[in-house]
């Protein structure tokens, strides 16, 4: 019998797995021997690798094929698809790209490709698409991510960088040995830590949390959801009103200042601008002291609880964690700025186990202790087109061509988009106000997607190019966020006529005469060898030795040695701020930013402030009395594998679960398992009720990820019968500075659905017209 450790390897953002292959298919995915807490989601690909949702051939929407670009007899997502050959698909796409760039210019091509990167350094959809589009003259791009766009814009003004400190959060071993109080705004949701961009070899989040809990660290979970912190670590749950974290943070800072607990020596040496912030904190500028009593009315946490927490934070080694989700609300720039300011007032930044961290357990790598491998990747080339949008402004881009928008201190203009190409990602999952987006989605003349399954995006495209899954291609799992480097084996042949993205773009490049610049006469295997060799050169320069490529392929994996010392964020800056200044104008932490102040934004001034959200329980319309939390799901990554067994097992009569407090359920006559209609003036969807006292009264929770499934796809605004909460959320930027998504500022009502629930069709393929002969129709 084959030894487990001799089986071939594959990797994904859910983890690394050994594969048992037989009869031309992967029969089983077994946890990598070094992973003691494997995710059950990764093997779920076997549920859907071969099945009705796989796209087996190039497809063109019938009305587009018959009447040409821009001509439609139905909304996208209604009429059937026609199968065509790869030769014909390549010609169609090449001809359309030539027409668009000739008639409208390359700025009219939007290369969306925003989505989660699975393992695989070479077969990375975004890199492949952007390299190809740059070879034909460029494209309009997007900037930042839905995960934390507001922080990506804001934190560089405070610390000089965001990504640098995202990747170097203080490690769990430092927390275990030195922290005594762990205060987490938005919790530390272990479910999110199952995954990591680019792949992962060993899951560390549960172990990190448990070792911290076993070290008698006291946790304080400040969240509307008790489940945002593992029960096993104990601690306190402060069921804060959603969107009010900044008010509570300001009140903690006010208590520190007024009770003489703030570390002014730290503020004087390591920060700038506190003197501009202090009058606001004390109420001298607006007549409103940001006291515990003031905050108690906003966040509904007792004033005595806030004051006692502030005193404890000042007297103990405290780690402040701010969840990424806090950025995805109206004024989402403010929570991170306020939390950094609070940490500065405590004076523990740069000390072992102290300071702040961005989203522990938001991904598996955060809090890890590992050496960063400077890996190479596929060169994307230079984009001659300088137009871009903040990532969450896709609907505005399509509906408001030529109109101005503000972003991070500059005024830009939306270009006129005629062609959209998405490869790796699904805007029908991560974007807000899907009913509005469906209107915008009709505007481009042509929409092309590279997809492996008939999800909500593929069904609403004009041209669908079937791509492979990681099980069907060889690659290298190599990321700076994980110490394991894995040779991913090609385990099975591609499904139907599916091709990997490199093969897809190479074919179109040949049609357009740019194949030499796209491929550089390298095969997929040649590029992977090149990437590894370039990584070896960079690694050697950084003092890291990695095996020869042939040895790596033979052994299947290796691990970079961990550093000897724990990771402590900003420790070098604390030890010598003159020798190790931050990349801010002052070289210090900017509690007040003159740069931001000079932007003149009324919704984001020069220091952290409380701004009332446009939609929250503090100003609730009586028609919509419940605050909706549409957080990340436990049983899938975003919408990936929504059609898999793990996700389907958690659904209620085929619908996304809806968590509700017993009080709110009783008020509406609801019981466990009931099908409810969630609605507001933007849309409506169905879900299945789960009654649970571990959610704050007045709050309702439905995770994102269920594939958009309108009851009547011919009618804009139709009920989503499957349970996609983004038919309810508002499409508005966090502020003029960050323009991030604001999904967590959303009010709804819930009522029992008394009709016969309509069948869920989200996981069914569209109608497909097949040629009767091998020739094209």
Residues marked active site are found at 114, 116
Secondary structure (3-state) at 356: strand
Return the H-helix or E-strand segment holding 65: helix 62-67
Helix spans in 477-606 (H): 501-512, 515-519, 524-541, 549-555, 571-575, 594-599
174-198 burial code (b ≥16 CB/10 A, e <16): bbbebbbbbbbbbbbbbbbbbbbbb
- Of the chain, the end-to-end C-alpha distance in Å amounts to 50
Dig out the tokens for 43 from the structure: 């093997």
CB 294 within 8 A of CB 247: yes
> Quick one: which of 196, 230, 191 has its CA closest to 210?
230
Distance CA 508, CA 463 (A): 13
**Token pair 């016969």 in the structure block, residue:** 756
Pairwise CA distance, residues 342 & 659, whole Å: 32
Check residue 589 and give left, alpha or beta (phi > 0: left; psi -120 to 50: alpha).
beta
What are the backbone dihedrals phi and psi of residue 294, each rounded to the nearest 5 degrees, phi first?
-60, -50
DSSP state of 740: -
Bridge partners (DSSP) listed for residue 12? 15
Helix (H, G, I), strand (E, B) or coil at 523: coil
Q: Which residues contact 6 (CB under 8 A, 6 or more apart)?
A: none
* Residue 274: φ, ψ to 5°: -60, -30
Q: Tell me how far apart the alpha carbons of residues 401 and 724 are, in angstroms, rounded to a whole number.
A: 28
CA distance 129 to 425: 12
Question: How far apart (Å, rounded) are the C-alpha atoms in residues 131 and 680?
Answer: 42
Separation CA 313–CA 345 (nearest Å) = 10
Q: What is the CA radius of gyration of the chain?
A: 26
626 beta partners: 748
Cβ–Cβ < 8 Å for 731, 431: yes
Half-sphere exposure of 161 (CA within 13 A, CB side): 11
Give the CA angle between residues 185, 276, 306 to the nearest 5°.
30
């Amino acid at each position: 019998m084959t030894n487990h450790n001799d089986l071939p390897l594959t990797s994904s953002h859910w983890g690394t797995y050994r594969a048992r292959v037989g009869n031309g298919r992967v029969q089983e995915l077994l946890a990598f021997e070094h992973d003691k807490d494997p995710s059950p989601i990764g093997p779920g690909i076997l549920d859907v690798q071969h099945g009705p949702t796989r796209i087996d051939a190039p497809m063109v929407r019938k009305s587009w094929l018959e009447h040409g670009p821009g001509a439609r007899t139905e909304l996208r997502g209604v009429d059937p698809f026609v199968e065509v050959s790869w030769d014909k698909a390549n010609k169609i796409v090449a001809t359309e790209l030539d027409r668009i760039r000739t008639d409208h210019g390359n700025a009219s091509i939007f290369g969306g490709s925003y989505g989660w990167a699975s393992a695989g350094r070479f077969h990375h959809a975004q890199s492949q698409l952007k390299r190809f589009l740059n070879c034909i003259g460029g494209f309009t791009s997007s900037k930042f991510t839905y995960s934390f766009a507001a922080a990506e814009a804001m934190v560089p003004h405070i610390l000089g960088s965001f990504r640098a400190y995202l990747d170097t959060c203080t490690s769990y071993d430092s927390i275990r040995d030195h922290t005594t109080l762990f205060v987490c705004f938005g919790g530390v949701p272990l479910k999110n830590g199952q995954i990591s961009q680019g792949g992962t070899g060993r899951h560390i989040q549960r172990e990190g949390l448990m070792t911290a809990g076993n070290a008698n660290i006291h946790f304080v979970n400040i969240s509307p959801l008790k489940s945002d912190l593992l029960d096993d670590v104990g601690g306190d749950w402060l069921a804060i009103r959603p969107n009010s974290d900044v008010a509570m943070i300001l009140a903690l800072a006010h208590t520190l200042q007024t009770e003489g607990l703030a570390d002014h020596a730290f503020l004087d040496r390591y920060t700038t601008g506190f003197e501009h912030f202090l009058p606001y904190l004390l109420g001298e500028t607006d007549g409103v002291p940001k006291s515990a009593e003031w905050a108690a009315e906003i966040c509904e946490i007792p004033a005595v609880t806030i004051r006692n927490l502030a005193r404890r934070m000042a007297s103990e080694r405290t780690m402040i964690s701010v969840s990424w989700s806090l950025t995805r609300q109206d004024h989402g720039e403010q929570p991170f700025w306020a939390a950094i300011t609070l940490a500065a007032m405590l004076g523990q930044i740069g000390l072992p186990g102290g300071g702040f961290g961005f989203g522990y357990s938001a991904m598996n790598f955060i809090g890890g202790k590992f050496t960063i491998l400077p890996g190479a990747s596929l060169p994307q080339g230079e984009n001659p087109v300088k137009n871009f949008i903040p990532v969450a402004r896709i609907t505005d881009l399509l509906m408001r061509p030529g109109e101005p928008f503000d972003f991070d201190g500059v005024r830009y203009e939306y270009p006129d988009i005629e062609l959209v190409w998405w490869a790796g990602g699904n805007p029908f999952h991560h974007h807000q106000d899907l009913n509005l987006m469906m209107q915008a989605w009709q505007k481009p003349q042509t929409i092309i997607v590279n997809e492996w399954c008939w999800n909500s995006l593929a069904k609403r495209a004009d041209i669908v190019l079937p791509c492979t899954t990681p099980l069907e291609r060889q690659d290298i799992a190599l990321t700076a966020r994980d110490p394991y480097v894995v040779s991913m084996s090609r385990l099975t042949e591609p499904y139907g006529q599916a091709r990997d993205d490199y093969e897809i773009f190479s074919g179109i490049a040949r049609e357009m005469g740019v194949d030499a610049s796209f491929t550089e006469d390298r095969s997929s295997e040649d590029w992977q060898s090149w990437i590894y060799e370039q990584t070896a050169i960079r690694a050697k320069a950084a003092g890291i030795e990695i095996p020869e490529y042939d040895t790596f392929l033979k052994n299947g994996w290796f691990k970079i040695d961990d550093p000897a010392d724990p990771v402590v964020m900003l420790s070098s800056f604390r030890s010598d701020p003159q020798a190790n200044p931050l990349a801010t104008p002052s070289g210090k932490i900017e509690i007040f930013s003159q740069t931001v102040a000079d932007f003149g934004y009324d919704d984001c001034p020069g220091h952290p402030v409380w701004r009332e959200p446009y939609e929250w329980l503090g100003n609730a319309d009586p028609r919509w009395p419940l605050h909706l939390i549409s957080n990340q799901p436990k049983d899938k990554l975003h919408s990936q594998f929504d059609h898999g067994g793990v996700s389907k097992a958690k659904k209620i009569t085929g619908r996304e679960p809806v968590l509700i407090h017993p009080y709110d359920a009783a008020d509406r006559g609801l019981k466990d398992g009931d099908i409810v209609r969630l609605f507001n003036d933007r849309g409506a969807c169905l879900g299945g009720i789960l009654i649970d006292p571990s959610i704050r009264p007045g709050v309702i929770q439905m995770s994102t990820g269920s594939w958009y499934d309108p009851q009547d796809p011919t009618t804009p605004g139709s009920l989503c019968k499957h349970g996609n909460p983004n038919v309810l959320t508002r499409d508005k930027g966090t502020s003029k500075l960050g323009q991030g998504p604001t999904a967590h500022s959303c009010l709804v009502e819930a009522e029992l659905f008394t009709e016969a629930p309509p069948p869920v069709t989200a996981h069914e393929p569209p109608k497909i017209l097949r040629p009767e002969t091998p020739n094209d129709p």
